[in-house]
Amino acid sequence: MGVLIGLVVGIASMAGGFMAMGGHIEVIWQPFEYVIIGGIALGTFIIANPMSVIKDTGKGMLEAIKGAGPKKADYLALLGLLFSLMRELRSKPRNEVEGHIDDPDNSPIFQHYPKIQKDKYLTQYICDYVRLILIGNARSHEIEALMEQEISTIKKYKTKPYNAVSTVAEALPAIGICAAVLGIVKAMGAIDQSPEILGHYIGSALIGTFVGIFSSYAMLSPLATKIKVTREKQCQPYIITKQTLIAYMNGALPQIALEHGRKTISAAERPSIDDVENDAIANTPGSGAALQQAA
């Protein structure tokens, strides 16, 4: 919603200011200048990126507009899931725990958190490292390095749409100049016309420069930044999982390990310790046993 509000404010301020100083708003409407700029920009975007990134960029734009990042309730659900798994690791034999991580789709623990279960990448990430804990001969610092490397890879993949949009945004001012040059060429072909007609042609050509600069710095660059912020926020559950499981591997009790994960959440969205106890721990499957063990 913030993206749409920002666009409306920016465009309205530009158009309103232009009209207030005596400009005629219809002069800005030069459809063929827009076709030249938009077509070249789209062409460079297609040339620079594989189809998978092109599709993901459209998805990333929608996510940025909707602000599709994890919320406080999602963090609490993740902490609850991790607590349930760590409790199983402490109290159940290996074969029983393996049932949850080998088939998370049919696991009662994962089914209790449908939103996390729906995220196949995060679910697989959790299962992979719980499995390594089950094996039992891995050192915590080695697992931590492996988890950090995977998070880096995930972040690099998720922020590809940001890089793609940023590249187009950086090129737009120059693309606008290309459209303006073509407009000037057209104006030079009418050099024998009256000053009124020639001035109209030159003014139309300059709209290309304006549109290139405006769309770059007032539209695509901010949108690219919003995509980056949204996608980096979507990487946060992986960091929470890493910190929690590493703390557990280093000997922390499940409830203490959750605190290691909770502290990685930004202060504005971080649930309190009471929230974790009342919403994450108390609502886990078999919460009565969980609270008794935590006590």
Tell me, what's the pLDDT at 286? 64
CA-derived radius of gyration, the chain: 27
Tell me, what's the pLDDT at 151? 96
Q: What tokens does 180 get?
A: 């303006």
User: What confidence tens digit (pLDDT) does each residue in 39-90 have?
Assistant: 999 999 999 999 999 999 999 999 998 888 899 999 999 999 999 999 998 8
pTM equals 0.84
Q: Positive or negative CA dihedral for 249, 155, 59, 225?
A: positive
Tell me, what's the pLDDT at 46? 95
- Confirm if 263 and 62 have CB atoms less than 8 A apart: no
Of 222, 268, 291, nearest in space to 64 by CA:
222
Instruction: Give percent of the chain with pLDDT exceeding 70.
Output: 96
User: What confidence tens digit (pLDDT) does each residue in 139-171 have?
Assistant: 889 999 999 999 999 999 999 999 999 999 999
